[in-house]
Amino acid sequence: MTATQRLIEELHTHALVIGEVVLTSGATAQYYVDAKRAILRPAGFHALGQLLAEHAVEVRATAVGGMTMGADPVACAALAGGADCKAFFVRKESKAHGLQRRVEGPLLDEHDRCLVVEDVVTTGGSTVQAIEALQAEGRTIVGVVSVLDRLAGGGERIEAAAGAPYRALTTIDDVYPDRPDRD
């Protein structure tokens, strides 16, 4: 089984929740993918790490991260998978105490090539916020990767904001191919 097949299986088995939920965007959906339920298990974490480390090499990333909570386990999986990168997390707002940083982790500099990551993309709003925070600090974004894309237009929005390629490791079509709202 390939790493992609393993990730899809883990997401389908452990992360797919059927039933009405309210998404971050405020929209209502009849299913939810709680990716952390799958990627914080050994098989899902290992598969994700392998895929992200390979992608980090492809885009020559030196740093990997994104908006905190969604990106936290994803960035850590990249490091565990062997990516030769720094990990970082973007806060929704700068801390009011301490160093008052918005981008946490090892300091990023003008030479870093950032791979922005996210667990699940619907509208792309959280990922775009992370991209904008990095751009405000003058960081170079070389790509964006999500664990799963719900195929609701977020990918296009992310790619436009980043000015760099967007890639979903899996989509809702892979994880829930027989969902009622599929065209």
Rg, Å, the chain Cα set = 16
125 in a labelled binding site: yes
86 in a labelled binding site: no
Q: Which long-range contacts (CB under 8 A, 24 or more apart) does 125-129 make?
A: 125/24, 125/25, 125/154, 126/24, 126/66, 126/67, 126/70, 127/66, 127/67, 127/154, 127/158, 127/161, 128/157, 128/158, 128/161, 129/67, 129/90, 129/92
120 in a labelled binding site: yes
17 in a labelled binding site: no
Look up residue 22 and give its amino acid.
V
97 in a labelled binding site: yes
95 in a labelled binding site: yes
122 in a labelled binding site: yes
Query: In 3D, which of 143, 156, 176 has the Cα closest to residue 35?
Result: 176
119 in a labelled binding site: yes
179 in a labelled binding site: no
13 in a labelled binding site: no
Classify residue 168 by burial, with Cβ atoms within 10 Å: 0-12, 13-18, 19+.
Answer: buried
Q: Residues at the annotated binding site for 5-phospho-alpha-D-ribose 1-diphosphate?
A: 91-92, 95, 97, 118-126
Q: Residues at the annotated binding site for orotate?
A: 122, 150
Q: Residues at the annotated binding site?
A: 91-92, 95, 97, 118-126, 150
